[in-house]
Structure 1
Amino acid sequence: MDKPKLRFKGFYDDWEQRKLKDMADFSKGNDYSKADLAEEGHPVILYGRLYTKYETVIESVDTFAELKDKSVISKGGEVIVPASGESAEDISRASVVNVAGVALGGDLNIIKTNDELDPAFLALTISNGSQQKEMSKRAQGKSVVHLHNSDLKEVNLLFPKVEEQKEIGTFFKKLDVTITLHQRKLDKLKLLKQGYLQQLFPKNDEKVPRVRFANFDKVWELRKLGDITKRVIRKNKNLESTLPLTISAQEGLIDQNEFFNKTVASRDVSGYYLIKNGEFAYNKSYSNGYPWGAVKRLNHYNMGVLSTLYIVFKPTNIDSDFLEKYYDTTYWYKEVSKHAAEGARNHGLLNIAATDFFKTELIISKSLEEQQKIGVFFKQLDDIITLYQSKLNKLKLLKQALLQKMFI
């Protein structure tokens, strides 16, 4: 096939095929590693940026180092490709450095295109077209794979006339800007939520929050979890559900298949806990950013099953939305740390018995109405965050679909 499935109006010619070496000059970056980075200095791009903060077109640089002799400095329009990576698939990506005066690190292959090849188009097709698969095959190594300029020179490039290339590059640049704006808005909303969580719940050892709704001024009280909730120990003996769940600290209680891309539960789930919508579960597994595990409410499904390693409970004398948000704070960590066996962490699990977990104390409002106001406020904020996340996901899916149709 010499034409993509989707094209801009006015372009009908077949795409050409040539070796990349016939359309570009090649060089390498020089020096600079992560250890050289500083808070200020000369702007520098290291190969890791193409993994941690990938952009088709790099318009600004926020990493700096002291300028060294014999540094390779960008003039603008260079296409950079990582010279090493963890896998052959990872290494097949490229970005355009669209800003002059940036030092380019040593583990970067640098491609300077001729007038027949638009840099943004080349970066896009290397990262998404048939060239991506070819580059993956050329990558060498096992634990760390390498890609040299000699490999890049032999890549078979499929491309249209430069006018069409520029149309494609400009289109995806605008789409990337839209995606970036949505991502920034989403990040700001998440930061806003974290700020409100700190403001609307009292800090440790305090009895009132810093920000309150009007007409509420009474001090909050300490209550044991066991006094405001009831433990759920119902088993799935009648196989009411065959949906194995897991707790994602970010997404809450979700389908194991969605989280792991496979089921890790045993085939017989009759001995698992049966958890129903609105009930909570405590995952004693600690992970990066969640040193005392995570407590989440089942929101996405009517019911599901959980390993008996989880502690399941339901609210009885507290607003459910309020309780859910309380466990989104870090204020409960101190109580769990007091009841967990000191230094005992087995295979990634905290050693805390269910009886001790229900002895943990929560600082809560005495007013059910205040609890409800706080719960509703965060629910509305979560709905807005979910909406923006959905929009962002749709834009990313749209981009992937268009990339598949607009490149050969």
Structure 2
Amino acid sequence: MNERKIPKIRFKGFSDDWEQRKLSGLCENITVGIANSATHAYTDDGIVMFRNQNIKENYLDDSDVIFIDEEFEKKYVNKRLKANDLLVARTGYPGTACVVPEKYEGSQTFTTLIARLKEGTNPFYACQYINSDYGKKYFLATQIGGGQKNSGAGILEDFPMILPPTIEEQERIANFLKHFDNLITLHQRKLDKLRIVKKSMLEKCFPKNGEKVPQIRIGGFTDDWEQRKLGEVFEEYSEKNHEELPALTIIQGGGTILREESDRALQYDKSSLSNYKMVRKDDFIVHLRSFEGGLEKANTDGIISPAYHTFHGDNTDSRFYYPFFRSRRFIDVLLKPHVYGIRDGKSIDIEGMKSIMIPVPSYNEQKAIGGYIETLDNLITLHQRKLDKLRIVKKSVLADMFV
């Protein structure tokens, strides 16, 4: 007896078995956009042309497009897109799909796959199905090529899609999933906006080279900022024999975590923990082998490998100095003369690093700026968690709504 093709959850009023069809059987045609040989015809203004990298999961990214002139567009009139066509990436992330919005009807594409569906198949349902975990596994297993993997028209034609036999059920599912996509897009935009605000504020909260005050002051402060050597503001210390403290692992851009919680599976001899250096919460950690400047901040008290250097500053706010030490100005300009070696063999001259002149506002102004940056970080983390949760919920829903 054949197993029924029905999903775990479905909308009320629908009970028919789902069908498995090759995508080619659901399409009027599947074609490929304009070929590589036409690249010389691009101009700065004219008609929009989309590329593989413009295709995101379930939406078309129009922030970076190519334009072509009218004469070139007429030459490839058979490549014009219609609203509700499916665009499927051939390279980059092969198999990623989106639906062409009405406003881009008549636009063209460069080497992407174009699937024009027949009546009776909802394009948004088909798009969601192609972008599901099932679709990702299919395209990962079937992509071709040597260096840069890609998917051809034949691979898309053979894509086995399972779908409800009625357009009404397809539309109910598609509209429900579009609601998730809208929420995900909303939180992604808020997250992107907060990151832009933070980046802009960090650029303006620190004085430019040669200036004594920043462009923006937080908290009504007016005094000039001092410039002092890093080694005068932060004192290096080395305290060992603290085996009672937890061993920490340094995460680039993320401070420290407990070593047993790290997924790096680092092996270390616990009998040597007495030789590990103690680090206090919010103090700075420097490794001579440079990774993005080599400076990180301790999130908790703990012990770290003796290969690291630890620095503490009296009357300093690490929330203020951490973004400064991770800034491009500090890493690429101030620290660069004190980094030697090539590629992965780069090392920091610790004494040279101590001689770097760094900005020193009053402790109260440091706290004001540090608190503002911390608030932005908390908001960014909040929206990132909401975004991650929505994606997890949608993934779970997809697993139960699709066969």
The one of 152, 158, 169 equivalent to 1:154 is 158
Once the 2 structures are TM-superposed, how far is the Cα of residue 323 of structure 1 from its aligned partner?
2.1
Identity of aligned residues (%): 27
Residues 151-198 of structure 1 show CA distances to partners (whole Å, capped at 9, x for unaligned) of 332332210122121122222223222212211211221221222222
Aligned residues: 386
One-letter code aligned to 1:314:
H
Once the two structures are superposed, the pairs formed by residues 88-127 of structure 1 within 5 Å of their partners are: 90-98=93-101, 99-106=104-111, 108-127=112-131
Structure 2 stretches of 5 or more lacking a match?
none
Query: 1:332 and 1:253 mapped to 2: Cα distance?
Result: 21
1:9 aligns with 12
Query: 1:239 and 1:214 mapped to 2: Cα distance?
Result: 41
Give yes or no for contact 1:274–1:306 (8 Å, CA) kept in 2: no
Which secondary structure does the structure 2 equivalent of 1:95 belong to?
strand
Closer, same or farther: CA 129–361 of 1 in aligned 2, 3 Å: closer
1:55 aligns with 57
Residues 301-345 of structure 1 show CA distances to partners (whole Å, capped at 9, x for unaligned) of 55363572x44322224233222243244443433234x15xx33
One-letter code aligned to 1:394:
K
Closer, same or farther: CA 392–133 of 1 in aligned 2, 3 Å: closer
1:375 matched to 2:370? The reply is yes
Residues 175-234 of structure 1 show CA distances to partners (whole Å, capped at 9, x for unaligned) of 222212211211221221222222222112111122224553221111222222222434
Q: Which piece of structure 1 moves more, 211-220 or 118-127?
A: 211-220
1:268 aligns with 269
Once the two structures are superposed, the pairs formed by residues 331-370 of structure 1 within 5 Å of their partners are: 331-333=329-331, 334-338=333-337, 340-341=338-339, 344-365=340-361, 367-370=362-365
Closer, same or farther: CA 61–55 of 1 in aligned 2, 3 Å: farther
Query: 2:397 and 2:306 mapped to 1: Cα distance?
Result: 41
**Which one has the bigger helix percentage?**
2
Give yes or no for contact 1:4–1:406 (8 Å, CA) kept in 2: yes
Once the 2 structures are TM-superposed, how far is the Cα of residue 294 of structure 1 from its aligned partner?
5.1
Query: 2:42 and 2:260 mapped to 1: Cα distance?
Result: 40
Closer, same or farther: CA 283–389 of 1 in aligned 2, 3 Å: farther
Which secondary structure does the structure 2 equivalent of 1:348 belong to?
helix
Once the 2 structures are TM-superposed, how far is the Cα of residue 63 of structure 1 from its aligned partner?
0.3
Query: 1:81 and 1:262 mapped to 2: Cα distance?
Result: 36
Once the 2 structures are TM-superposed, how far is the Cα of residue 125 of structure 1 from its aligned partner?
0.9
Once the two structures are superposed, the pairs formed by residues 176-191 of structure 1 within 5 Å of their partners are: 176-191=181-196
Once the two structures are superposed, the pairs formed by residues 8-407 of structure 1 within 5 Å of their partners are: 8-24=11-27, 25-31=29-35, 39-50=44-55, 54-58=56-60, 60=62, 62-67=64-69, 68=72, 69-70=75-76, 72-85=79-92, 90-98=93-101, 99-106=104-111, 108-128=112-132, 130-160=134-164, 161-213=166-218, 215-234=220-239, 238=243, 240-248=245-253, 251-253=254-256, 262-263=264-265, 265-268=266-269, 270=273, 273-282=277-286, 290=292, 293=293, 295-299=295-299, 301-303=300-302, 305-306=304-305, 308=307, 310-333=308-331, 334-338=333-337, 340-341=338-339, 344-365=340-361, 367-407=362-402
Query: 2:45 and 2:157 mapped to 1: Cα distance?
Result: 36
Give yes or no for contact 1:203–1:331 (8 Å, CA) kept in 2: no
Residues 336-361 of structure 1 show CA distances to partners (whole Å, capped at 9, x for unaligned) of 234x15xx333425432222212222
Once the 2 structures are TM-superposed, how far is the Cα of residue 44 of structure 1 from its aligned partner?
1.0
Closer, same or farther: CA 256–183 of 1 in aligned 2, 3 Å: farther
Query: 2:146 and 2:306 mapped to 1: Cα distance?
Result: 37
Give yes or no for contact 2:290–2:347 (8 Å, CA) kept in 1: no
Give yes or no for contact 1:241–1:274 (8 Å, CA) kept in 2: no
Closer, same or farther: CA 368–171 of 1 in aligned 2, 3 Å: same
Query: 1:307 and 1:115 mapped to 2: Cα distance?
Result: 68
Give yes or no for contact 1:18–1:158 (8 Å, CA) kept in 2: yes
Give yes or no for contact 2:287–2:295 (8 Å, CA) kept in 1: yes
Give yes or no for contact 2:288–2:350 (8 Å, CA) kept in 1: no
Structure 2 length-normalised TM = 0.84
Give yes or no for contact 2:54–2:64 (8 Å, CA) kept in 1: no
